[in-house]
Amino acid sequence: EDQVTQSPEALRLQEGESSSLNCSYTVSGLRGLFWYRQDPGKGPEFLFTLYSAGEEKEKERLKATLTKKESFLHITAPKPEDSATYLCAVQAGWSNTGKLIFGQGTTLQVKP
Amino acid sequence: DGGITQSPKYLFRKEGQNVTLSCEQNLNHDAMYWYRQDPGQGLRLIYYSQIVNDFQKGDIAEGYSVSREKKESFPLTVTSAQKNPTAFYLCASSIRGHNEQFFGPGTRLTVL
C-alpha cells in the first residue's frame, strides 16, 4: 500500500536554530514528491517538486532533498514567519490521474 | 491575478441538508480536485476531474457528488448521506499531465 509518513508531528525551534523535517514514503514507483506549506485556516501553498533521488531544491531558508526512501526539508536559521504546517505528498508511478498521497504534516513553531 | 477561489469561506449546515461548495479557477488548468482535511489526518481525495464532463471518485467519495460542466468550475455537493461532513474542504487544480497542484483557500463546513 502506498504510504507517506512525516516526522516529527510537531517541532519547536528557537529563531536561528536550524533543523530538518522528514518525509518517509513507500510507493510503487515514484512519479514525484511535493512539499507544501499550510498556514492555519488556509489552503496549502506549493513549495517544491522533487522527481529523482539526489535531487535538491532551495527557496530562501528552505532546502528539500530526496533519496529513494525519504525526503528532508531542511530549514536554515528559521524565523518566526516560518511557523506553519509543512505537508509532504507523493504521486505514484502507476498513477496518471494526478492523485497525491499526503502525509499528516509537521507543525513547526519558531519562537523569537 | 490567476488563482483558485472557493466560496463560501465558512458554511453551516443543518443535519439532513445538502450543501454545495464552489470552486473556480482561472489558471486554464484541465484537472481539478477536491480534498477533505480533518485534524491530525492528511488530505484525503474526494473526487477529481481531468477534463470537462468527466470525473472520477477518489478515496472517500461516499456522500459527495460533483459536476464539471465548465473548465473553470468544479462544485462539490455534500449530501445528507455524508455521515460526518464537518471538515475543512480544499479544492485544487493542475495542468493536465503536470504534477503540481495548486490549492484554493478552503471552505470550513460545520454541521449544526
Please say if the pLDDT value at position B97 is more than 70: no
pLDDT digits (tens, 9 = 90+) for A61-103: 999 999 999 999 999 999 999 999 999 999 987 666 778 999 9
**Angstrom distances, CA of residue B10 to CA of B3, B34, B60:** 19, 16, 22
Q: Which pLDDT belongs to residue A22? A: 98
Give me the phi and psi of A104, to 5 degrees please: -85, -10
Chain B residues touching A31 at Cβ < 8 A: 99
Beta carbons of A43 and B40 less than 8 Å apart: no
C-alpha–C-alpha distance, residues B18 and B34, integer Å = 17
Chain A residues touching B89 at Cβ < 8 A: none
pLDDT digits (tens, 9 = 90+) for B13-72: 998 899 999 999 999 999 999 999 998 788 999 999 999 999 999 999 999 999 999 999
Amino acid at A7: S
Beta carbons of A44 and B104 less than 8 Å apart: no
Amino acid at B54: D
Q: What angle do CA A47, B50, B57 make, to 5 degrees?
A: 95
Beta carbons of B42 and A105 less than 8 Å apart: yes
Q: Which of B77, B68, B76 is nearest to B96 (CA)?
A: B68
Q: Which of B28, B71, B27 is nearest to B49 (CA)?
A: B71
Q: Which pLDDT belongs to residue B99? A: 74
Chain B residues touching A105 at Cβ < 8 A: 42
